[in-house]
Amino acid sequence: MDVSLFWIPATLAAAAAQTGRNATQRRLTETIGTVGATQIRFLYGFPFALLALAAMSLVTGEAAPAPNPAFLLYALAGAVAQILATALMLAAMRERAFSVVTAYTKTEPVQVALFGFLLLGDPLTPAMAVAIAVATAGVVLMSAKPGTGLASSGLKPVVFGLASGAFFALAAIGFRGAILALEQGSPLIRASTTLVWSLGIQTAILLLWLGLLDRKALMASFAAWRPSLGAGFLGALASQFWFIGFALTTAANVRTLALVEVLMAQAVSHRFLAQATSRRELAGMMLILGGVALLLLAQG
């Protein structure tokens, strides 16, 4: 088996785990607030990432590679960019409907492809560019529901939403850059090492931030440790597979295939919330699937 193609099942597994984590975090938001619920993905995910790295080292017989300046710079940039992206996304959602904000933030694959090409020299073929554009158009079509038109959303959510997508893109590029900067180890051990460092940085930053500015949310996140463990586990599991994907292929490939998460979320809504699927949403799904299929064909 060609190990390089393992990024495909890894990305699908990551999208599934992230769908579960999002559902868990959404419930926690009602009890510990948005900031507290956001912080648990890092605080409670970090121990699971450490366990995963230890297990990976035990199974493969490889030690975690030593960090170098380039690795630390990329990991720090990715960690900070992801926190900023989340903050901007939440700010945009306060200004506008969730569906409209999703349309802007899910322009991320396009921005990932551009940043990856410019900053890391990742290849971007015409076939890949078409696939990314088609899949992203599908998400925009699904997200722009009647009555929440993108053109009428106002300037602030547009800026916040696109900036959020840009920082999510930079986070993906930062994490992939960190993985590539490690000089030793297999792709799996380098991915696990990068995840531990990134989550550690994010946990430290947010603990300091909440300790200084929002101790109530911090204490609430500690008090809700039982459900938070589940969210932390799913978050770490998703991140583990994201990073494996980043270790094996370009961030643009991973984040484009990751758009199937939108289809998974739609399936969850249809199954458990009894929400009907409109023709527009079906058309968007077909575009997403078409774009993903084109992307996979471009790998041949």
H or E segment and range at residue 91: helix 69-95
Q: Which two tokens stand for residue 263?
A: 């289809």
pTM of the prediction?
A: 0.83
Helix H segments across 126-250? Answer: 126-143, 155-181, 187-213, 215-223, 225-248
| Domain coordinates in residue numbering, the chain | 3-298
Residue type, 256: T
Q: Which two tokens stand for residue 65?
A: 């590679």
Residue that is written with structure tokens 């199937």 in the block: 260
Pairwise CA distance, residues 253 & 44, whole Å:
28
Q: Give me the pLDDT at residue 66, please.
A: 92
Q: Give me the pLDDT at residue 155, please.
A: 67
Which residue pairs, CB below 8 angstroms and at least 24 apart, start in 140-143?
140/103, 140/106, 140/107, 140/284, 141/280, 141/283, 141/284, 141/287, 142/262, 142/266, 142/280, 142/281, 142/284, 142/285, 142/288, 143/99, 143/100, 143/102, 143/103, 143/106, 143/284
Pairwise CA distance, residues 102 & 165, whole Å:
9
Per-residue pLDDT of the chain (300 residues; tens, 9 = 90+): 456 678 889 999 998 888 777 777 767 767 777 677 778 888 899 999 999 999 999 988 999 999 999 999 999 999 999 888 877 876 776 655 555 566 667 778 888 888 888 888 888 888 888 888 888 888 777 766 665 555 555 667 677 778 888 898 999 999 999 999 998 999 999 999 999 999 999 999 989 988 898 888 888 888 888 888 888 898 899 999 999 999 999 888 898 888 887 777 666 655 555 556 677 777 877 888 888 888 878 765
Task: Answer yes or no: are the C-beta atoms of 40 and 221 closer than 8 Å.
Answer: yes
Q: Give me the pLDDT at residue 58, please.
A: 92
